[in-house]
Amino acid sequence: MRYERLLGWAALLVLVLFALAPVRAQPADAVRGEYLVYAAGCINCHTDKADKGPFLAGGRAIASPYGNFYSSNITPDVETGIGAWSDTDFTRALRHGESPSGRTYYPAFPYASYSAMRRQDMLDIKAYLFAQTPVRRENRSHELRFPFSWRFSIYPWRWLFFSSTEDAPDVGTERGSYLVEVLGHCAECHTPRNIAGGLKRGKHLAGTRYGPDGHSVPNITPDSETGIGGWSEADLVFFFKTGLKPDGDDVQGSMRETIEDGLSHLTAQDLAAIAAYLKAQPAIRHAVRATRLPPAATSFDEW
Ligand code: HEC
Ligand code: HEC
């Protein structure tokens, strides 16, 4: 009897000690990382699907007014991918937009959004990437117009529009905001840019004629005439899951990929958080003309 009671106390002591143990860094979790990779849309940019390129091995062209960017190989191949990268190399790339050797990345890699990602989320993403098959595939050089071909041309943009700190700032303490502003980087496509490539803050999510691949990108603020004011939260969730709009049209272009290799894999709860966040944004009246631009448009009427 006494012996049993002693055992009871011992068990209680163990429980208390566990509860009091200092919170140690969680080990990186590749399963969580896979979900985050979908939420952050890494797959569509880093897989050259059009040419049936290998998963995450880069080489996908991203057309922009500055020229064509080619995404990098982010498989764990040691020579041509990121297989030799440490955790710090990886968090530095996403948080500060710098390579292990200190080279600055072009903002076509949307680190301006990812910069606010939680460190644990970055490490879980890395764990997932490192669990994939390494693919040997050399990175392809970007084909940019002068002066953008010059990596130093990134500096004015960085000075004006980019800052990063070691601790993730407080954006997105709320789930919808974290999913839209940080992981989903929706503004990188849905917000118009100024002449220096910075996002126009006053037109946050209000659409642009100069989206990726020469397509226009619609206004997704809740304005009733020019935005998604007429969509219910359920319409939005259905769209993110299936790519079908309330008028029966199916989604095209880069949003189709954002849904196929991204949003459609998220939980109903997360999609509802995105929808609620969008509907709670200030409505901005901004009509976006839906015309296909010539591939090398040289005058930009939005500036
Ligand atoms: C909109 C397209 C796009 C998305 C989305 C994107 N990337 Fe990239 N990424 C790029 C481009 C383009 C580059 C090359 C940048 C450069 O050369 O300056 C790049 C470069 C990188 C690099 C540097 C590789 C090297 O060898 O130096 C890493 C690491 C990386 N991306 C990881 C990710 C991860 C992880 C995600 C998802 C969280 C992601 N990227 C999402 C376009 C994208
Ligand atoms: C790579 C660029 C890109 C990213 C990133 C992106 N979108 Fe889109 N989005 C588009 C394009 C292009 C369209 C137009 C597609 C069409 O009309 O078929 C679109 C359409 C939409 C629509 C339909 C609006 C309408 O009026 O038809 C919604 C809603 C939307 N996006 C929400 C989002 C959200 C939320 C995110 C972030 C989680 C996001 N998008 C990220 C490019 C992007």
Of all ligands present, the nearest one to the C-alpha of 45 is 1
Q: What is the reported pLDDT for 65?
A: 79
Mind listing the pLDDT tens digit for each residue in 272-285? 999 999 999 999 99
Ligand 1 centroid – CA 5 distance (Å):
59
Tell me, letter by letter, the H, E, C secondary structure of the chain.
CHHHHHHHHHHHHHHHHHHHCCCCCCCCCHHHHHHHHHHHCHHHHHECHHHCCCCCCECCEEEECCEEEECCCCCCCCCCCCCCCCHHHHHHHHHHCECCCCCECCCCCCHHHHCCCCHHHHHHHHHHHHCCCCCCCCCCCCEECCCCCCHHHHHHHHHHHCCCCCCCCCCCCCHHHHHHHHHCCCHHHHCCECCCCCECHHHCCCCECCCHHHCCECCCCCCCCCCCCCCCHHHHHHHHHHCECCCCCECCHHHHHHHHCCHHHCCHHHHHHHHHHHHCCCCCCCCCCCCCCCCCCCCCCCC
Of all ligands present, the nearest one to the C-alpha of 114 is 1
Q: What is the reported pLDDT for 120?
A: 95
Residue 289 confidence (pLDDT) above 90 = no
Atom of ligand 2 nearest to the CA of 211: 12
Q: Which CATH class is domain 26-133?
A: mainly alpha
Residues 180-209 have a mean pLDDT of: 92
Residue 207 confidence (pLDDT) above 90 = yes
- Which residue lies with its CA nearest to atom 25 of ligand 2? 218
d(CA 134, CA 15): 42
Q: Record the pTM.
A: 0.90
- Domains of the chain by residue range: 26-133, 173-298
Site to probe by mutation for ligand 1, drawn from 48, 72, 99, 144 as the one with most ligand atoms within 8 Å of Cβ, is: 72
Residues 111-127 have a mean pLDDT of: 96
Ligand 2 centroid – CA 13 distance (Å):
54
Q: What is the reported pLDDT for 247?
A: 94
Mind listing the pLDDT tens digit for each residue in 30-69? 999 999 999 999 999 999 999 999 999 999 999 887 889 9
Ligand 2 in contact with 247 (CB < 6 A)?
Answer: no
Instruction: Name the token pair of 249.
Output: 């049209």
Ligand 1 centroid – CA 109 distance (Å):
5
Site to probe by mutation for ligand 2, drawn from 36, 43, 190 as the one with most ligand atoms within 8 Å of Cβ, is: 190
- Which residue lies with its CA nearest to atom 3 of ligand 2? 189
Residue 228 confidence (pLDDT) above 90 = yes
